[in-house]
């Protein structure tokens, strides 16, 4: 639509998120379990929200044949170890986070509690004849773990590790555990040292309003939007704690003189230069963000920015509708 004597414009927004995960060095510090080659691989990792405050985590494990551990460790069962973490990424000792653990649909028979910082979900002694769990030969196990979401409220990820349970020294998978994030899990499974986990994936969701600035006066002007026109990001609060983020945006109409451009929808030669300042109340950033200025996000799990648009409407500019599309990027600053 056009209106004589007025210039209308709107800006549509799109969103692109770059994720940076920092991986910690591995370390192994078991005192009553030894590392060994328990499985060939982890696979088919997934995390599904059940909608009732619980989640189901799935991992496929290709178990190798079980073995005895001299001098007294007679193989009894396959084992599953779960690791949860506090808000600093430290392993929670002796926690039993699972509501249920199944292997090929069969529930575990027992939980071995050694009191040395880890627990193992097992099929118990071989004499229990728990299907799947007590298998000594090689086989593929589909492991399902159901947890309350509250157990990962401090650190929205956990590790699932394969093991072998004996009646003496136990064996845990030497390569580590499959690391599953509540807000982002790779189906091919990320394998980590579960005692020193990497930061969970940072997943941000953006409320992308279509900004309509209405009539723009001739010359330089500013217009601030608020309320439903705020640019809001939601995420898991603990994951962003202590991190800085660079917010920027590119324009489909290009950038000239460090300013975006609104283009006349009827005449591609007509442009209105503009730039944007985002204000969260505690920090601001200018777009285009040529200096890669970084800022913090609120630990509450949501940060909203009120945008202020600075436009320059030339005297010779034609009347009509002008628009632009901004593609936002958010990256963690190293």
Residue 20 pLDDT greater than 60, yes or no: no
What would the mean pLDDT of 104-128 be, rounded to a whole number? 84
pLDDT tens, 50-82? 999 999 999 999 999 999 999 889 999 999 999
Q: What is the mean pLDDT of residues 277-302?
A: 95
Asked if CATH classification 2.60.40 holds for the domain at 7-19+203-332, the reply, yes or no, is yes
d(CA 27, CA 22): 16
Cis peptide before 65 (omega within 30 of 0): no
- Name the band, by pLDDT with cuts 50, 70 and 90, for residue 112: confident
Is the preceding omega at residue 322 within 30 degrees of 0, hence cis?
no
Whether 33-192 and 7-19+203-332 are alike in CATH topology: the answer is yes
| Count of C-beta atoms within a 10 Å radius of residue 36 | 16
pLDDT at 321 (0 to 100):
97
Please compute the mean of the pLDDT values over residues 202-215 and round it to a whole number: 90
Tens of pLDDT, residue by residue over 213-234, are: 999 999 999 999 999 999 999 9
Q: Do 7 and 270 meet the contact criterion of CB atoms below 8 Å apart?
A: no
- Read off the pLDDT of residues 154-167 as tens digits, 9 standing for 90 and up: 888 999 999 999 98
- In the sheet where 54-63 sits, what is the strand order? 39-49, 54-63, 139-148, 98-103, 106-107
Rg over alpha carbons for the chain, rounded to the nearest Å, is 27
Averaged pLDDT score across all residues of the chain: 87
Rounded distance, CA 49 to CA 203, Å?
15
For the stretch 146-174, what's the b/e string if a residue is b when 16 or more beta carbons lie within 10 angstroms of its beta carbon?
bbeeebbeebbbbbbbbbbbbeebbbbbe
Instruction: Provide CB contacts within 8 A for 76, sequence distance 6+.
Output: 122, 123, 124, 125, 126, 134, 165, 166, 167
Q: What is the pLDDT of residue 306?
A: 97
Which is nearest to 126 in space by CA: 205, 66, 211, 57? 66
Under the banding of pLDDT at 50, 70 and 90, the label for residue 136 is very high
* pLDDT at 93 (0 to 100): 78
Question: Is the pLDDT confidence value at 17 over 60?
Answer: no
pLDDT at 199: 81
Residue range 33-192 forms a domain whose CATH class is mainly beta
User: Which pTM value belongs to this model?
Assistant: 0.67
The pLDDT confidence band at residue 37, using thresholds 50, 70 and 90, is: very high
pLDDT given for residue 100 in this prediction: 96
- What per-residue confidence (pLDDT) applies to 29? 35
What does DSSP assign to residue 218? S
pLDDT digits (tens, 9 = 90+) for 227-269: 999 999 998 887 888 899 999 999 999 999 999 999 999 999 9
> Given this model, what pLDDT does residue 304 score?
97
84: left (phi over 0), alpha (psi -120 to 50) or beta: beta
Q: What integer pLDDT is reported at residue 3 of this predicted model?
A: 37
Sorted by where each begins, the domain ranges of the chain are 7-19+203-332, 33-192
């Amino acid at each position: 639509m056009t209106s004589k004597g007025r210039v209308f414009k709107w800006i549509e927004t799109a969103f692109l998120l770059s994720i940076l995960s920092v991986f910690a060095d591995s370390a192994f510090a078991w005192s009553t379990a030894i590392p060994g080659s328990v499985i060939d691989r982890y696979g088919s990792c997934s995390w599904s929200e059940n909608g009732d405050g619980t989640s189901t985590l799935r991992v496929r494990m290709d178990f190798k044949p079980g073995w005895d551990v001299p001098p007294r460790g007679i193989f009894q069962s396959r084992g599953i170890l779960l690791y949860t973490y506090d808000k600093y990424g430290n392993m929670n000792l002796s926690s039993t986070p699972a509501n249920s653990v199944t292997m090929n649909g069969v529930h575990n028979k027992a939980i071995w509690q050694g009191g040395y910082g880890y627990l193992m979900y097992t099929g118990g002694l071989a004499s229990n004849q728990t299907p799947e769990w007590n298998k000594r030969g090689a086989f593929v196990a589909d492991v399902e773990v159901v947890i309350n979401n509250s157990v990962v409220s401090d650190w929205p990820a956990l590790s699932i590790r394969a093991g072998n349970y004996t009646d003496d020294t136990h064996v845990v998978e030497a390569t580590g555990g499959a690391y599953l994030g509540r807000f982002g899990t790779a189906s091919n499974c990320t394998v980590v040292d579960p005692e020193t986990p990497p930061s969970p994936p940072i997943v941000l969701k953006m409320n992308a309003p279509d900004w309509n600035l209405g009539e723009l006066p001739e010359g330089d002007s500013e217009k601030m939007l608020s309320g439903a026109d705020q640019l809001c990001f939601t995420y898991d609060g603990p994951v962003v704690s202590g991190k800085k983020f660079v917010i920027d945006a590119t324009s489909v109409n290009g950038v000239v003189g460090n300013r975006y451009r609104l283009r006349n929808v009827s005449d591609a030669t007509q442009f209105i230069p503009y730039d944007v300042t985002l204000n969260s109340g505690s920090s601001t950033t200018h777009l285009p963000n040529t200096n890669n200025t970084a800022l913090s996000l609120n630990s509450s799990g949501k940060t909203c920015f009120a945008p202020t648009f600075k436009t320059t409407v030339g005297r010779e500019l034609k009347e009509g509708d002008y628009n632009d599309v901004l593609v936002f990027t958010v990256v963690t600053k190293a």
